[in-house]
Amino acid sequence: MTIQIDDQGWGTPVGGVGIIIVRKETFEIHYDIIPIEYFNLEMFRKKTYLAGAKNIVEIGINKLNIHKDEEIEICSGCIHDKTAQWLKDEGYRLTVMKIDGIAQQKGEEMFIEYLRRLGVPDPPAIVGETVDEYKAQFFYLMDWVREDPMGRAHLCKTGWKYFKKFFKTRRNQEEKLCLKK
């Protein structure tokens, strides 16, 4: 059996990051989200999202009863650094690679549903993993945040360098408006 581990949402400005584990031959799936709080300024700086990803994978390994003789393919993204090391230390057979197929497709579908539950109306899907799709999704989400920046800040990856400046500028603008009143 082959296990695939992938992530969704690392590059999206809104929401946490989805982690999917799929047994390719049987389509068994474990999916969970690294909470958005892991991407606030303090936790992002400490890279707590790495432990978040590893914990989700560990739970999924147990729930899916994955054995050490099963081949594991894990996405090469940096969010999996701690997970890959843990899997190696535990004696799993592991290949770091680009993930496609059912894990990528199903993970993206589940992440879009997650964004909808956060209140994002009709977020663009990632289907072919093209640069244009990722750009379209990113800018759509940023436009949505700009409609109500302070009301949606809690849904954003505020630990990102971009958002530190973005929200500081918004706070300054709001303070100036309050002083004028």
Torsion angle defined by CA atoms of residues 143, 145, 146 and 149, in that order, rounded to the nearest 10 degrees: 180
CA angle 76, 41, 110 (to 5 degrees): 45
pTM, two decimal places: 0.90
∠ CA 46-48-49, nearest 5°, is 130
Mean pLDDT of 158-172: 76
pLDDT tier, 173 (very low <50, low <70, confident <90, very high otherwise): low
In a domain, 181, yes or no: no
178 within some domain: no
CATH no. for residue 28? 3.30.420.10
Residue 180 lies in a domain: no
More confident position, 177 or 37: 37
Tens-digit pLDDT profile for residues 107-161: 999 999 999 999 999 999 887 778 889 999 999 999 999 999 989 999 999 998 8
Judge whether residue 59 has pLDDT over 90. yes
Residue 36 lies in a domain: yes
The predicted model gives 83-88 an average pLDDT of 97
Domain of 37 in residue numbering reads as: 2-170
Is residue 125 within 8 Å of residue 110, measured between CB atoms?
Answer: no
Domain count, the chain: 1
Q: What is the pLDDT of residue 177?
A: 47
Query: Is the residue at 177 inside a domain?
Result: no
Mean pLDDT of 54-65: 98
